[in-house]
Homo-oligomer: A and B are copies of this chain.
């Protein structure tokens, strides 16, 4: 899983001040025309950054989970296109746009479930088409600016999710989350973690239970790590322990992220989210999904149309490269599942909290 290719840096300052008391990890940024991303596949053992000098390196980084999380890979996709565009030599718009074809397709093919890659690329395509008379060099600058804007907007969106979502958190609540929909999954502040961060800023005492989230252990390696950095009280459990803790009355609500939410409120998210939602229903625990509008796909009617990525068996049979399973064992490794809208209490967006049935109201606001 370790990323080979681009230069690797250790940085003594992986955190940036975000306002208030919050320092969030720098997940991704453009530095000197390169896409610098934290290699999350090595966390929490190593805090290392990789610099991607071309779009293929960015695509590889997305595929190998150096960067992951729906919003973060949307940002990475935009930055990948922007640096890919820089390398295109073209005489006119049509030639330039044609040259971007392989850039778009390579980046789009990295991961099928999250809609944010598609969303980011569509946004850049619209920008290009709207400015086709501007000249190639100007277009390259526009793409670069737009990619940086997508990053900056993402943090603002997450803070808005935090403001709306903090209302559902009461003083003293214990919140369970699955996978990582935190700073590391976004430009900063996180989606599912945003209401937690805002609630804490508001002085509420909260506890977080982080499912470890097999197979890639994003809850263990990433969520627990980043919440500890922020001084949020976090406890790590195996995915198997969620039900037992709910039965003991130790969990008040669940907040998770999403890779793609359909128009009817069906939620695709990391494998195990569906099970968690069922456990919440069985224990009368509210189940919320933090979803920036960029992750809501109004073009599909239900979750049945969301492609579910199946990943390599090695994610299940090995951990950190160490084999844990018998040689030759058959494996099913579904990376995501779809939680039907009926299990979802509310969808927390940057424009408010919506019941799944009321997502049409959000669409009308866009």
Contact = CB atoms under 8 A, between A and B. Distances in A.
Interface of A: 44-45, 209, 212-215, 217, 220-221, 224-225, 228, 233-245, 247, 270-272, 274-275, 278-279, 281-282, 316-317, 319-320, 322-334, 337-338
B324 A217 contact: yes
B212 A316 contact: yes
- Please state the number of chain copies in the assembly: 2
Nearest to A240: B272
A324 B221 contact: yes
Contacts of A282: 278, 281-282
B330 A234 contact: yes
A338 B244 CA distance: 8
Contact of A275 (B209, B225, B242, B316): B242
Given A274-B243, A274-B247, A316-B212, A44 B334 contact: no
B274 A221 contact: no
Given A238-B272, A329-B224, A329-B234, A212 B214 contact: yes
A330 B236 contact: yes
A69 to B, nearest CB: 17
A275 B324 contact: no
Contacts of A325: 44, 212, 220-221, 224, 236
A236 B44 contact: no
A242 B240 CA distance: 11
A269 to B, nearest CB: 11
B235 A332 contact: yes
Contacts of A233: 330
Contacts of A209: 332
A319 B214 CA distance: 13
Contact of A224 (B228, B275, B326): B326
Nearest to A320: B322
A330 B274 contact: no
Contacts of A332: 209, 235-237, 241, 245
Contacts of A212: 214, 316, 325
A220 B337 contact: no
Contact of A238 (B225, B235, B316, B326): B316
Residue among A228, A234, A238, A279 facing the most chain B CB atoms (10 A cut-off): A238
Given A240-B270, A244-B271, 8 more contacts: A212-B325, A215-B238, A220-B316, A235-B329, A237-B316, A241-B271, A245-B332, A282-B282
A329 B325 CA distance: 26
Nearest to A43: B326
Given A319-B319, A319-B322, A213 B240 contact: yes
Contact of A317 (B236, B271, B320): B236
B278 A237 contact: no
B324 A271 contact: no
Given A234-B330, A325-B221, A331-B235, A275 B240 contact: yes
